[in-house]
Structure 1
Amino acid sequence: MLVMPAQLVCPRCEQDWVRPYRFKADGTSFLLCTECDSLWWPDEAVAVARAHFLDDVVAARLGVEGNPWSDRVWADVIEPAPDFRR
């Protein structure tokens, strides 16, 4: 298994680093750029064409329509995953 590189620039916005996170509910890991909210699953290449939008993924996982943040904040749903491995 490969360890996530320490510094990977977001290919979508080029404004921040892609960092490992996980969903608090079940521990599912993913990579996230907190500047543009682009998300990648561990088995995906970190590329513009493969990026998902965090809001869409969270809304789908929670089964809500539209903005999933109307009654919650990131810390309710996701957290950094320092032990992430690809």
Structure 2
Amino acid sequence: MTDSYGKPHEAPPNEKRISSLSPETAIHKMTCAHCQQDWIYLFRRMDTGERFHLCPECESVWLEGGDLRLDTDVYLSEFMSPADPGREWEVIEPADQ
């Protein structure tokens, strides 16, 4: 990637993760119940191995086994450790289904 001056720079972690997603890897191509703007994907925390469902658009989170058809009040920043805000996308990765 390049910046507005044409200099190369590293994409932010969330852009790297989102750009690697495709609708084929979405959970049964289910649209987010919260924002209706993106598919829901299965992710994994690299630090704990915990798997969860995530809408990359609005960062809504559903715990694995939760009803994805229902809206959620949990967001990625709340789901991850509040002790290190802003690094959420650095410690998660798309999970195998």
Q: 1:8 to 1:43 in 2, by over 3 A?
A: same
Q: 1:31 to 1:7 in 2, by over 3 A?
A: same
TM-score (norm 2): 0.65
60, 65, 84: which one pairs with 1:43?
Answer: 65
Matches within 5 A, 1:69-80: 69=86, 72=87, 74=89, 76-80=90-94
Q: What count of residue pairs does the alignment treat as equivalent?
A: 71
Could you list the runs of 5+ residues in structure 2 that have no partner in the other structure? 1-25
Name the structure with the higher strand share: 1
Q: After the TM superposition, which segments of 4 or more aligned residues of structure 1 sit over 2 Å from their partners? A: none
TM-score (norm 1): 0.72
CA RMSD of aligned residues (A): 1.9
Could you list the runs of 5+ residues in structure 1 that have no partner in the other structure? none
Question: Which structure has the larger Rg over C-alpha atoms?
Answer: 2
What's the secondary structure of 1:56's corresponding residue? helix
